[in-house]
């Protein structure tokens, strides 16, 4: 197809050079991960499962990963359970309207089952009914002397699939 061997060689080599340049640029100018400093505050990044009715909300920042699940109780309230991959010193949660900046967070309690002081990774809190479409979830946890916080939508507690919606409408 191409009679010039230099053009043929360039077409074969160029994709490899582009990939090498991509990684070299990331290595040269990319942000280096840093360990959390005691006394500092860090924002947790909500994953995509927090933005729809998935039944759970995953939060992450560096080495810390937190999964929040909510179970509806018979009384209409919600039992929020927070699972962390590292031991937490404290955890607090509040659900309310996004414009209500002065809402006071409620401290979560460590789950007593199989919990030791060194490995307090599961926390829970019962929350009264809320408007999942308009309210926001605010969570703050303390680990290793650092504070981690997030504000995300509160739509995730109920796990609803298109199949469940179709079955319930019949």
The DSSP output letter for 54 is -
In this predicted structure, what is the pLDDT of residue 66? 92
pTM for the model stands at 0.71
User: Which whole-number Å values give the CA distances from 108 to 1, 62, 71, 120, in the listed order?
Assistant: 69, 23, 15, 12
DSSP SS3 for 164: helix
Query: How far is the C-alpha of 140 from the C-alpha of 99, rounded, in Å?
Result: 18
Q: pLDDT value at position 149?
A: 92
pLDDT tens-digit readout, 61-113: 988 999 998 888 888 888 889 999 988 899 999 888 877 666 778 888 888 76
Beta-sheet pairing, 90-97 with 78-84: unpaired
Half-sphere exposure of 114 (CA within 13 A, CB side): 2
In this predicted structure, the answer to whether residue 166 has a pLDDT above a threshold of 60 is: no
What pLDDT does residue 52 have? 78
SS3 76: coil
Q: Which residues contact 118 (CB under 8 A, 6 or more apart)?
A: 87
The CATH fold assigned to 41-162 is: Immunoglobulin-like (2.60.40)
Q: How do residues 9-52 score in pLDDT, each as one tens digit? A: 999 999 999 999 999 999 999 877 777 788 889 999 999 888 77
Q: Tell me what pLDDT residue 118 has.
A: 54
| pLDDT tens digits, 155-165 | 777 666 666 55
């Amino acid at each position: 197809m191409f009679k010039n061997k230099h053009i043929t060689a360039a077409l074969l080599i160029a994709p490899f050079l582009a990939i090498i340049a991509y990684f070299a640029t990331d290595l040269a100018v990319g942000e280096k991960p840093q360990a959390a400093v005691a006394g500092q505050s860090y924002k947790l990044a909500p994953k995509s499962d927090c933005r729809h009715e998935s039944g759970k909300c995953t939060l992450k920042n560096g080495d810390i990963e937190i999964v929040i699940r909510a179970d509806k109780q018979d009384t209409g309230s919600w039992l929020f359970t927070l699972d962390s991959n590292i031991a937490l010193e404290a955890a607090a949660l509040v659900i309310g309207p996004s414009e209500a900046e002065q809402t006071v967070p409620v401290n979560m309690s460590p789950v007593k089952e199989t919990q030791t002081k060194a490995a307090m990774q599961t926390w829970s809190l019962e929350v009264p009914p809320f408007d999942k479409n308009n309210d926001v979830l605010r969570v703050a946890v303390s680990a290793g002397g650092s504070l981690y916080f997030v504000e995300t939508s509160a739509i995730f507690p109920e796990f609803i699939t298109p199949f469940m919606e179709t079955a319930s409408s019949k």
